[in-house]
Structure formats: structure tokens, C-alpha cells
Amino acid sequence: MRRRFKAALLLLLIVMMVFVSAIRAAALDDTYSFKELGFSIKLPKEDYVITVDTPRGDPVFSQIGLDYDETMIAFRNANIYLRAYDPDKTYSISMTVTDDENTAQINNYSDLTTAERKVILDAVSQQENVTSAVEVKRDGNIFFDSQSTVSNGDSTTYINLCNTVINGKQIDLSLQKDGEEITPEEAKALTNAAGSLNFNKINRKTGAVFDWWRLLLWVGILAALSIAVTVIYKQYNASVKRKKEEQLKARRAKRGVTNDADPSHAEPEEEITFEESLGYQNDEEFAERAEADEMAGYDIKVRDRDPNKGIEYFEDEGSNIDDGTDYFDTYFKEQAESRSGIQRFFAMIGFYIKNAFKHIGYFFKNLFNRK
């Protein structure tokens, strides 16, 4: 019993410690929002922070020793929206936001390819006074973290810059420290601030990034439309073919009766081509279905297409297509090099797309010309 009580008490203490740590972590930062820019940023709670929205008379100006009017003029001239000082005032972090045609074209660093970002990183690395530059990914944001030094006489200023482009805006977070190198803890404070950038909405660039899902959707729609048109056309053509065969049989029967009654009044026999005898308008229609089978992975060989020699029939055991006509009896299919199901699928889709508009033309041509 005592062991269970001790285990429960230990578990409760662990939960309380985690809960208190979470509360303390949440209380360590203050959030600063910029509605006109559409994003917010977090900075340590103990920092002295001035933004473009800080009102006149705020105690922070006297605590840092700055004049309100001079500070706001400097902010407007340099496109500075925020400046923060650590509690000891050993360094400052400034946030500038700019936009132009180049940043609008980039839109987001995350929209760029790895190769495109490397070009930008190389350009940053080659700038004067830059000692190092790396690409950093933090909470979905991508920015370039660079270190540089600027000497002015006997004094040296150390600069750590985090640069990113989001929603067509270039955001620079710059940490400056005079006389001493930037410590790893101070550099971490800067990257934490850059990683805390939170946008209300990320506008993805359209056109530059290829949308494969949309392409597949449109290909699927086009393929379905092509197949539907093909099926409608073939059904209509089959009905027209049956009607034509019935009319042909009726004319032959009529000629037979006339010949028996009076051979001198027999109508001349109508000449029809081999394809027409099978219900096809021309040689092109005759070859279309053979092309479809060829797309499916068969080698097509026509045995006999001369109606004067008679039709030579061959059984096609390998065929799995039967539309009830003698058309398939006029050639046989030999299995060619085997194709995968994906290859046959795309081959058939390509065939249907290729002939979709041709079938539509056949449909309307038969609709207005055939009786």
C-alpha cells in the first residue's frame, strides 16, 4: 500500500513540475503583433522593447535613455519596426521590414528550390566583412544566419543577421554588440526571435511551384471526358452501323425479288468497299480499333482485306475484345513484348486523348450526314 502511495505521489510531483515549467516557459516571452504586416514576434520578457506603436511617454524610453521623436524618425527612415535591448544593455536587436520587386518575386524562401536558396546563401557569404553564413530552418521558417564584423578606428562592432523573405516581405533581425564578440547564448536569443515569427497566413506563390496534384486532377478529368466521348461515339456508331446493315439487307432482298420476277429490270448491284461491308466508313475507322489493341500491347497483322478474294476468317483465342462484328475476324493479334498495367493504362489514356477530338468530329459528321 505504501509503495503505491509513494508511486502516486512521485507521479503527481513529476506532473506538477512539467506543468510549472510550461507556465514559466510561456511567461518568459512577450508577443509583439504588427497587424499591418500580418505577423507577430516573441522576445524575452525582461528585454526593453520599443516598437513603432510604442506611445509617447512610455517608461521604456527613459529606461533606455532615448528620445521619442528622434527614435521614431530613425525608425521611419530605416524601416525599423522594433528594437530590443537586453537587461544589461550590452546588445540590441533591430527588426527591419522592406519589400520591392525582388522580394515580391521570391515571395517565400520556402517556395524556392534548394539550388535557388544556395545561390542566395553564396551571395550573402561573399559580402564584405561576412565571416560565416548558414541556412536555418525553424518552425517552418527558413532564414539565413550570418556573422560579420565592422571596424571603425579602434572600435569593432559585431553583427549577427537573420534574414528571411515571407509573403513578399524581407525581414531582417540584426543583433549588434560593440567591443565584444557575440556569445552563443546571445546568438541563440536572435535565432529564437527569428524562429518565433508567426504569420496570420502564408501566401504561397502560384505558378512557380509546380502543382502535381492539380495536374493529375486535370489529366484525370480530361481522360474521363475523352473516354466518355469515345464510348458515346462508338455506341452511336454501332447503332448507325446496325441501321445501315438493315438497310443494306433490305436493298439486297429487294434486288433478289426483282431479279426473280424480271431479270431485265434488276437494279445494278451497289458497290461497297470492304470496310463499309463491316460497318466502317473508311480505312481510317477500320485502323482505329487496331491501333487501340496495339496500344494495349499486341502486334496486329491483317490477313486479307481484299473483298474480291473473299474474307479469310481466323479464330483469335488471345483476344478479349468482342463487339459482335466480323471486324476482329479479319486480323489476328500476336502478343508483343509484355507491358505492365501502368504502361498499358497510360498508353490507352494517350490513345483516347489523341483521338478524342477526332471522335467528336466523327460524331457530328455522322449525326448530320447519315440517314
pLDDT the model gives residue 154: 83
First CA to last CA distance, the chain: 98
**What totals of helices (H) and strands (E) does the chain contain, helices first?**
10, 12
Q: In a 3-state reduction of DSSP, which class is residue 238?
A: helix
Nearest-angstrom CA–CA distance, 137 and 121: 13
pLDDT tens digits along 23-60: 444 446 899 999 999 999 999 999 999 999 999 999 99
pLDDT tens digits along 131-174: 999 999 887 789 999 999 998 888 899 999 999 999 999 999 99
Task: Write down the pTM of the prediction.
Answer: 0.50
| Cβ–Cβ under 8 Å, residues 347 and 295 | yes
pLDDT the model gives residue 245: 83
What CA–CA distances, in Å, run from 3 to 9, 11, 14, 336? 10, 12, 17, 77
pLDDT tens digits along 257-270: 555 445 555 555 55
pLDDT tens digits along 109-138: 988 999 999 999 999 999 989 999 999 988
CA–centroid distance for 230 within its chain? 30
